[in-house]
Structure 1
Amino acid sequence: MNAPLRRVGVVIMVLFGLLFANLNYVQAYKGSEYSASPYNGRVQVAEYERQRGNIEVGGKAIASSRATDGHLKYLRTYPSGPLYAHVLGYKPVNLGQTGIEASEDAFLSGSSDQLFGDRLLDMFTGDQTAGANVLLTLSPKAQAAAYNQLRENNVGSSRGAAVALDPRTGAVQAMVSFPSFDPNPLADHNTRAAQAEYDKLLGARNSPLSNRATAEVLPPGSTFKVVVAAAALEEGITPDTRIPAGPSYTAPTSGTPITNAHPSICPQSQVTLNSALTQSCNTGFARLGVELGADKVKETAAKFGFGQEDLTVGRLGDGGLPVAPSRTGDIQNPDGSADPAALAQSSIGQNEVRMTPLEGAMIAAAVANGGSQMRPYLVDQILGSDRTTSYYQAKDQELRRSVSPAVASDLQEMMVSVVQNGTGTNARISGYTVGGKTGTAEHAAGAKEHGWFIGFVMKDGKPISAVCVVLEESGDGGSGEATRIAGQIMRAVINDSGGR
């Protein structure tokens, strides 16, 4: 064999060697990745061979799959449109899935290891057993009330959120983000149309795809005074203890005075702690925070959940919707020294304090539940396609002890005073004990303030629901409207539970 032929032979052998190595690499190392890729058409077809399980609320499917005549045998549908959108998420053909559709995909699709027996049986029967069904904790009436009231709010706010929890268990009774969206077009088998709808929503004003109940952190305004009041009570101050107040307060090192929302609010030099919370006395709580110190304020906030990085809401302790951490900020100078001016502002829920609506509901829930803060959850049960086999049943879990029962009792009485005698009268419900705290939060120069309300409803000493409502950039009357909406949500929970 002459030299040129030998060189060609060597090149061919090297190429075959490289091809062989690449095939082994693809099979051994990349096979599972390619198999799971949403762009693998055969995988898509195989996934849609099995009917996806339902997601249900109150015995009705809010996400289900119906048969089609296309090459993908089942189409995911959402009968309630935007009502449950941010909780459900969506299950598209090519786009990334979100919400409960994502966190419970293994059960819903039938691919969970716990469903191996069902799949094994399918091999012998030739059937395609449907995926498992996920049952949520949501109250249909409370969810509808939250959605409709946010959408039709009386102050013209175009963004907001509402969350309601069962304080005794942590079960989510309502979770709404406004504006919402219709997930049906995103699940369309026409992937170009689905992509176009997604792009439209992604670029839409007010970010309708964002779950503001869990992902948005905003200054909480005076709702944060509940946390500062808890810190004071832990230090031995009582609801009847008189604290410094007055029409204006300038913290040491600051030339900017803190005033009250109206001259009639705590103009006296001293008021009781209960009166300060009832009237929402800025000067009283600013002074109180400076007296308590930044470490105490931050420590108490952490006991209510501020700073938690790993909270999710789905199954208990096992994935779900991610929750942005609420934060108090550093409350100090850049060099680490104390900054009384920042502390004074932080103590009335301004400065760098930021909170999610879910965290607001969790604060109210802990107070209503005697100081015990339960882990919030959305998934109550997972049933097999035959609806006789249960693969998961939620069991309540205490997340943390926020305050002692004695402090919780004092906070309950003070928050009830807010609703009976102060700024929260719009939340009153005849025959029930309602407590709460309003908040008006500045966030940008020239922008309207956010309106907040956190609160709870009880009957015969037993908590029924804890609620947080925020109306972004709602301006004057925003907190009053948030309070009214919270009252409507709590009424809906009561009606859905037969009055408890």
Structure 2
Amino acid sequence: MSSGSTNKALRWTWVITLVMVLALLVNITYVQGFQAQSLRDDPLNTRQFADRDAIARGPIVAGGERIAWSDAVAKNRYQRRYKDSEVFSPVTGYFSKFSQTQLESSENHILDGTDARLKTTSLVDRILGRKVPGGTVETTVDPAAQRAAYQALAGSGARRAAAVALDPRTGAILTLASYPSYDANQVSGPDAEQAQRVFERLNKNPLKPLLSKATGELFPPGSTFKTVVAAAGLAGGATKDSAVRAGRSYRPRGAGQAINNDAGDIGGACDNASIPLITAYAQSCNTTFAFMGAEQPGNSGVADQAARFGFAKKIEYDRGLSSAVSSFPRTDQPSLSALGSIGQGSTVATPLQMAVVAAAVVNDGKVMRPHLVNRLRGADGSVVQSAAHESMGQALSADQAAQLRDMMGEVVRSGTGKSLQGTSVGGGKTGTADIEGVSYNDRWFIGFGPGANPRYAVAVMTEAPGYGIESGPIAAKIIDALGG
């Protein structure tokens, strides 16, 4: 081979080598600069769980109070701390050697400083791996109301319980309480074996204290679901004064047995063949709402109305944080639709979902997406992101919502919630869901307050013997704590 051919081959070898080196550098730059976060979060990447205590995570704050923060315990070693953790764990979640939940998970990259929005010289910082201090997560939660809610739930004698309070006009979650709860300090310590033992104990508990009862568990909503059915009637052209079917008993087509009113209703308005809708709602006549679900407006009318309130899909209340899916059965069997329309059978809901229903009634029928974060800040105090007040749709017209507020007010004036007269509760709906084969019921109250000019919507569920009205005073305590 001639020397010219040899030089030409060498030149091409150098060109190809240079191109490959440049391609490698570009790939490394892309991976380090733009894919680092997704690679860190990949579930197959076990290195994300190494040296988790080497990070000084930023604080989670409620009403100016730090409810989660990191303390230095040794050189380059930090421990996560939680204030009143049993009260606030449905909000903060935990950050452990193995995993994280709730805001510790959804806002993980703000807290640990790896969120790209916290970087000042983004590309250079990413390539060089410069550490950016963790930011602050400011929640929407009112700490006084959260404490009042948890203390009331814990003192109610309930085996499981939850309470949610919302700002109806913005969707801000003001209270997100769950019982039984857990202490996140016990699972966030540096001793992995001890934390694992705590996890095992909590996971063996049949009441599932690690799972938020407010967002993660489903319960039959009982007669509080009649609010959705009443809304379906109004949307279909009825008014609060429209005459509706009542009577002591109603047997849907195809049903093996009749649906009856509560024994305590015998001799009352529910016995009459026809009464105004507002009276049927205030007195919680099962026969009225079973008939509405089975015949008029029927299954599709109720199911469509439930969907407008947020049923049949997850409700996302922070990035990656969603509620369990509340549901009402779409069915061609009138008996199943009738049972579901009184909040039994296949109808289930989270307390968050039922708070959304009450909030939409207050907010002239507009459904606002619940959110748990008010602001995200960098370590220097700069605002990275503020809450967006996002509508989920219009469940009712303003006039229909006003009529439903009147109906909820009548519950307190003359109906099943009249023992709440004189409290901060301006209106609401009681609900008692019978649980077959056990001695307790799911006792519900949804409502609003304070008084006739409500600023808050509340849902409370307590699981214990008795009736839904027994959850009403808890709602009043929450409204009071919110400044009712």
The question of a shared fold, defined as TM-score above 0.5 by the shorter chain, is answered with yes
Which residue does the alignment assign to 2:120?
117
Pair 1:374-2:368 in alignment:
yes
Q: 1:304 to 1:121 in 2, by over 3 A?
A: same
Once the two structures are TM-superposed, the CA of residue 395 in structure 1 deviates from its matched residue by: 2.5
Q: 1:446 to 1:208 in 2, by over 3 A?
A: closer
Which residue does the alignment assign to 2:461?
470
Which residue does the alignment assign to 1:55?
60
Pair 1:66-2:71 in alignment:
yes
What is the CA–CA distance in structure 1 between the aligned matches of 2:200 and 2:221, rounded to whole Å?
A: 32
- Match for 1:298 among 291, 303, 328? 303
Deviations 1:423-462 (A, max 9, x none): 12344455x561100001123234422110111115664x
What is the CA–CA distance in structure 2 between the aligned matches of 1:118 and 1:74, rounded to whole Å?
A: 27
Task: State the one-letter code of the partner of 1:279.
Answer: Q
Pair 1:425-2:418 in alignment:
yes
Matched-pair contact (CA < 8 Å) for 2:138–2:375: yes
Alignment TM-score, normalising by the size of structure 2? 0.86
Which residue does the alignment assign to 2:325?
325
Deviations 1:337-371 (A, max 9, x none): x3221122122111211111000000000000000
What is the CA–CA distance in structure 1 between the aligned matches of 2:378 and 2:123, rounded to whole Å?
A: 14
Matched-pair contact (CA < 8 Å) for 2:445–2:475: yes
Q: CA RMSD in A?
A: 2.7
Pair 1:270-2:274 in alignment:
yes
Matched-pair contact (CA < 8 Å) for 1:50–1:130: no
Paired-residue identity, %: 37
What is the CA–CA distance in structure 2 between the aligned matches of 1:98 and 1:414, rounded to whole Å?
A: 39
Which residue does the alignment assign to 1:282?
286
Deviations 1:70-98 (A, max 9, x none): 6x5111000222110121111112x1111
Pair 1:484-2:478 in alignment:
no
Q: 1:426 to 1:99 in 2, by over 3 A?
A: farther
Matched-pair contact (CA < 8 Å) for 1:242–1:272: yes
Q: 1:460 to 1:221 in 2, by over 3 A?
A: closer
Task: State the one-letter code of the partner of 1:468.
Answer: A
Task: State the one-letter code of the partner of 1:226.
Answer: T
Once the two structures are TM-superposed, the CA of residue 48 in structure 1 deviates from its matched residue by: 4.0
Q: 1:329 to 1:256 in 2, by over 3 A?
A: same
Q: 1:142 to 1:429 in 2, by over 3 A?
A: farther
Aligned pairs for 1:28-427 (under 5 A) are 39-40=46-47, 44-45=50-51, 48-69=53-74, 73-93=77-97, 95-117=98-120, 129-153=132-156, 156-261=157-262, 262=264, 263-265=266-268, 266-289=270-293, 290-309=295-314, 311-314=315-318, 319-330=319-330, 332=331, 338-387=332-381, 389-427=382-420
Task: State the one-letter code of the partner of 1:394.
Answer: A
Structure 1: gaps spanning 5 or more residues:
1-23, 333-337
Q: 1:465 to 1:298 in 2, by over 3 A?
A: same
What is the CA–CA distance in structure 2 between the aligned matches of 1:379 and 1:283, rounded to whole Å?
A: 42
Once the two structures are TM-superposed, the CA of residue 475 in structure 1 deviates from its matched residue by: 2.4
Q: 1:280 to 1:458 in 2, by over 3 A?
A: same
Deviations 1:194-217 (A, max 9, x none): 111111111113110111111111
Matched-pair contact (CA < 8 Å) for 1:50–1:129: no
Matched-pair contact (CA < 8 Å) for 1:428–1:487: no
Once the two structures are TM-superposed, the CA of residue 35 in structure 1 deviates from its matched residue by: 9.5
Pair 1:443-2:435 in alignment:
yes
Q: 1:484 to 1:118 in 2, by over 3 A?
A: farther
Q: Secondary structure at the match of 1:170?
A: coil
Task: State the one-letter code of the partner of 1:286.
Answer: A
Deviations 1:239-280 (A, max 9, x none): 112211111111122231111112134111111101000100
Query: Runs ≥4 in structure 1, deviation > 3 angstroms?
Result: 27-41, 47-50, 118-123, 126-129, 426-430, 458-461
Q: 1:195 to 1:380 in 2, by over 3 A?
A: same
Matched-pair contact (CA < 8 Å) for 1:142–1:174: yes
Matched-pair contact (CA < 8 Å) for 1:277–1:418: yes
Task: State the one-letter code of the partner of 1:326.
Answer: S
What is the CA–CA distance in structure 1 between the aligned matches of 2:232 and 2:438, rounded to whole Å?
A: 33
Task: State the one-letter code of the partner of 2:50.
Answer: Q
Once the two structures are TM-superposed, the CA of residue 127 in structure 1 deviates from its matched residue by: 9.2
Matched-pair contact (CA < 8 Å) for 1:51–1:129: no
Q: 1:97 to 1:236 in 2, by over 3 A?
A: same
Task: State the one-letter code of the partner of 1:375.
Answer: R
Task: State the one-letter code of the partner of 1:271.
Answer: I
Q: 1:38 to 1:58 in 2, by over 3 A?
A: farther
Task: State the one-letter code of the partner of 2:394.
Answer: R
Which residue does the alignment assign to 1:12?
none
Matched-pair contact (CA < 8 Å) for 2:425–2:475: no
Deviations 1:133-167 (A, max 9, x none): 000000111101110000001xx211011100000
Identify the range of structure 1 (28-37 vs 182-191) with the bigger mean alpha-carbon deviation. 28-37
Matched-pair contact (CA < 8 Å) for 2:114–2:132: no
What is the CA–CA distance in structure 1 between the aligned matches of 2:167 and 2:41, rounded to whole Å?
A: 42
Task: State the one-letter code of the partner of 1:105.
Answer: N
Alignment TM-score, normalising by the size of structure 1? 0.84
Once the two structures are TM-superposed, the CA of residue 481 in structure 1 deviates from its matched residue by: 1.7
Q: 1:212 to 1:433 in 2, by over 3 A?
A: closer
Q: 1:423 to 1:207 in 2, by over 3 A?
A: same
Once the two structures are TM-superposed, the CA of residue 40 in structure 1 deviates from its matched residue by: 3.5
Matched-pair contact (CA < 8 Å) for 1:374–1:398: yes
Matched-pair contact (CA < 8 Å) for 1:50–1:128: no
What is the CA–CA distance in structure 2 between the aligned matches of 1:85 and 1:307, rounded to whole Å?
A: 27
Q: 1:109 to 1:427 in 2, by over 3 A?
A: farther
What is the CA–CA distance in structure 1 between the aligned matches of 2:276 and 2:117, rounded to whole Å?
A: 58
Structure 2: gaps spanning 5 or more residues:
1-23
Which residue does the alignment assign to 2:18?
none
What is the CA–CA distance in structure 2 between the aligned matches of 1:50 and 1:411, rounded to whole Å?
A: 51
What is the CA–CA distance in structure 1 between the aligned matches of 2:435 and 2:145, rounded to whole Å?
A: 29
